[in-house]
């Protein structure tokens, strides 16, 4: 039923036109997201900066609420306006996709998922970079066994990232001692993230995976407005308290106009290596339900498994992809495959093939 109603909502939005051009909102590309669940329709719109004036937003909001509110199944309509991209924001030169990996709270395995995603994409043959934007708790050096690495300054002022298994990596952890806390206010942390993005010698890359700090603070906001992200992946665990924060993170990305590629459920279940019995320690399926309710793709479930912990402690994430436990490798590869598919879909939507008319 929800897919049928979603199609009806899209049809309704095609009947709402922008006063000056006369084109509908869908044709203009201003509809960033449409969600429907239990009688509630949620629409996210994003206008160009030059057209983000309050009177136009108010007029469009009223028109959307009226058009969508005529659908019998819709009991309530919510309209949000995503923040427009920062003026002059440009992509990272030579990088095709920039994917943020975030979480509503810490302790859910966000950095581990970011690293596994990067190594999974590299194993599939893509050129990959990994940026540790979690400046207050940089764990990428430990997870990739690159502790002590020193980014090399180039003559042109760029920063040459260290590499591991062909993956270019930059982290605040390379610039401070392992036990030294980073006590910075937001603007200083933002500055270093932007430095790594803009001065890092990333090109050529198919994917740059960015491990964000948990929560909904300054750095995710700065990143989303500094560069056009291909999308964001939200990581959570199945229990209710984690899902509450995951929802906040997902809605933050939508508010910022960032496509949500989907939700990953980490520590989803435990399989006893001795008897094979499955135990759902933190519950199971919560992320999939949340994805369904929020109309976001579900990217898969990664088990709670000692091999993942051992691989992280050893700084050898490739163990989880090849030659390791089949249940872990299969789960990680499924997640990577779905992330790749969602990134490709967004790419097709942004750059549709031209239509040819044959006479």
Q: What is the 3-state secondary structure (H, E, C) of the chain?
A: CHHHHHHHHHHHHCCCECCCCCCEHHHHCCEEEEEEECCEEEEEECCCHHHCCHHHHHHHHHHHHHHHHCCCCCCEEEEEECCCCCCCCCCCCCEEEEEEEECCCCCCCHHHHHHHHHHHHHHCCCCEEEEECCCCCCCHHHHHCCCCCCCEECCCCCEECCEECCEEEEEHHHCCCCCCCCCCCHHHHHHHHHHHHHHECCCCEEEEEEECCCCCCHHHHHHHHHCCCCEEEEEECCCHHHHHHHHHHHHHHHHCCCCEEEEEECCCCEECCCCCCEECECECCHHHHHHHHCCCCEEEECCCCHHHHHHHHHCCHHHHCCCCCHHHHHHHHHHHHHHHHHHHHHHHHHCCCCCCCCC
**In CATH, which of 3.40.630.30, 3.40.50.300, 3.30.360.10, 3.30.420.250 is domain 95-350?**
3.40.50.300
Residues of each domain in the chain carrying CATH 3.40.50.300: 95-350
Q: What is the dotted CATH code of the domain comprising 2-81?
A: 3.30.300.130
Q: What string of pLDDT tens digits covers the 359 residues of the chain?
A: 567 888 899 999 999 988 777 888 888 888 888 888 778 888 888 887 666 567 788 888 999 999 999 999 999 998 988 776 555 556 788 999 999 999 998 899 999 999 999 999 999 999 999 999 988 889 999 999 999 898 888 888 899 999 999 999 999 888 877 777 776 666 777 788 888 888 999 999 999 999 998 888 777 777 767 777 889 999 999 988 888 889 889 988 888 888 899 999 999 998 888 887 888 888 888 899 889 888 899 999 999 999 999 999 999 999 888 766 788 899 999 999 999 999 888 776 665 544 444 44
Residues of each domain in the chain carrying CATH 3.30.300.130: 2-81
């Amino acid at each position: 039923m929800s897919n049928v109603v979603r199609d009806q909502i899209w049809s309704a939005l095609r009947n709402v036109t922008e006063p000056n051009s006369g084109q509908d909102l869908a044709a203009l590309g201003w509809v960033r997201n449409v969600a429907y669940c239990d009688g509630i329709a949620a629409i996210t719109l994003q206008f160009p900066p030059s057209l983000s004036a309050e009177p136009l937003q108010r007029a469009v909001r009223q028109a959307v609420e009226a058009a969508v509110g005529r659908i019998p199944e819709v009991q309530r309509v919510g309209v949000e306006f995503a923040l427009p991209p920062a003026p002059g924001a440009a992509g990272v030169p030579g990088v095709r996709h920039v994917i943020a990996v975030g979480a509503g709270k810490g302790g859910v395995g966000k950095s581990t998922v970011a690293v596994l995603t990067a190594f999974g994409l590299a194993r599939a043959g893509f050129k990959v970079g990994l940026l540790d934007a979690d400046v207050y708790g940089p764990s990428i050096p430990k997870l990739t066994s690159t502790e002590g690495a020193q980014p090399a300054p180039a003559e042109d002022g760029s920063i040459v990232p260290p590499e591991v298994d062909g993956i270019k990596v930059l982290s605040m952890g390379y610039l401070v001692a392992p036990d030294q806390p980073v006590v910075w206010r937001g603007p200083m942390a933002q500055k270093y993230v932007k430095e790594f993005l803009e001065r890092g010698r990333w090109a050529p890359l198919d994917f740059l995976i960015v491990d964000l700090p948990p929560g909904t603070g300054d750095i995710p906001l700065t990143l989303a407005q500094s560069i056009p992200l291909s999308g964001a992946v939200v990581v959570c665990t199945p229990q209710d308290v984690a899902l509450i924060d995951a929802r906040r993170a997902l809605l933050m990305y939508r508010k910022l106009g960032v496509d949500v590629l989907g939700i990953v459920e980490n520590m989803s279940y435990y399989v006893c290596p001795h008897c094979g019995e499955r135990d759902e320690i933190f519950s199971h399926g919560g992320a999939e339900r949340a994805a369904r309710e929020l109309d976001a793709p579900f990217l898969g479930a990664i088990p709670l498994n000692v091999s993942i912990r051992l691989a992280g402690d050893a700084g050898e994430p490739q163990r989880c992809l090849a030659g390791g436990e089949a249940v872990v490798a299969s789960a990680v590869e499924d997640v990577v495959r779905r992330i790749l598919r969602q990134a490709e879909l967004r790419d097709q939507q942004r750059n549709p093939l031209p239509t040819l008319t044959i006479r």
